[in-house]
Amino acid sequence: MNDEPSTRTLCIANQKGGVGKTTTAINLAAAIASSGHETLLIDMDPQCNATSGLGVSALDRHPLVNETAIRQAVVTTNVDKLGLLPGSRSFHDIDRLAHLDSATTDLVIEHLSNGTSIYDYVLIDCPPSLGQLTKTALAASSEVLMPIQCEYFAMEGLSQMIGVIRDVMSSRPGQLAFGGILLTMYDESLELTFEVDHEVREFFGEIVFDTVVPRDVNVTEAPSHGQSVLDYAPRSRGTRAYLELCMEVLERD
């Protein structure tokens, strides 16, 4: 775990796109903040969807590249106690972050650690890849949370992602733990959903969250309004799911 036990840093990662990774990062961060914890969401995905999904503009330069103090680069959001470190679409910065050597990676991790110690929870939204950006985010985290879509190819490539996680764990013993697997886009009307649910839980056991995130149009609409689903549709099934997930995450502390 981190040297700073008061801060839990969760890396939201999956190399497969379209699994609800950024949606989970935004809504879980909003739920944790709404529960009264000082929370920071870090956008490390060059697509910057976590940034735009909270109604914030991407930065011209990424703070992790130009060494801007994290606290100076964090912006407030429309969610109380939730700060955001916006992403950047700068090709130069993305290229630098994607090709970090081990020494520079250590500096980025130290930069992140020093700048986020004031928060109770830090969530990092990663790109859908197994590249250096994701590896750096994993190395800077205390836990990894992996969303999996309830579809036929849910397990495809999962072994590769777990392999990367194990590599980071072995290179930094005791600093990274497997926080959990989250089933997303859960459709109870489909038999395939239950098949995937059974297969994932049978293989991974208690590491799979009890909470599942249902298919809910409110969840998909909320980012276009620059809001979490908790604010956009507070009584929706999606909001209830992310609040329940938040409770599970807090209980696993």
Question: How far apart, in whole angstroms, are the C-alpha atoms of residue 141 and residue 199?
Answer: 28
* pLDDT score, position 3: 45
Q: Does 147 map to a domain?
A: yes
If DSSP codes are grouped into helix, strand and coil, which group holds residue 214?
strand
Q: Does 2 map to a domain?
A: no
Q: Does 154 map to a domain?
A: yes
Per residue in 141-189, pLDDT tens?
Answer: 999 999 999 988 877 767 788 889 999 999 888 889 999 999 999 999 9
User: Residues 6 or more apart from 192 whose CB is under 8 A from it?
Assistant: 150, 151, 152
Question: How far apart, in whole angstroms, are the C-alpha atoms of residue 8 and residue 85?
Answer: 16
The CATH number of the domain where 105 resides is what?
3.40.50.300
Identify the domain containing residue 73 by its residue range: 8-247
* pLDDT score, position 149: 92
| Positive or negative: CA dihedral 222, 226, 230, 235 | negative
Question: How far apart, in whole angstroms, are the C-alpha atoms of residue 43 and residue 25?
Answer: 9
φ, ψ for residue 148, nearest 5 deg = -130, 125
Q: Does 1 map to a domain?
A: no
* pLDDT score, position 217: 97
Which residues of the chain carry a pLDDT beneath 50?
Answer: 1-4
Q: Does 81 map to a domain?
A: yes
Q: String of b and e for 211-249 (b: at least 16 CB within 10 Å)?
A: bbbbbbeebeebbeebbbbbbbbeebbbbbbbbbbbeeb
Structural domains of the chain, count? 1
* pLDDT score, position 214: 97
Q: Does 137 map to a domain?
A: yes
Q: Does 115 map to a domain?
A: yes
Provide the whole-model pTM.
0.93
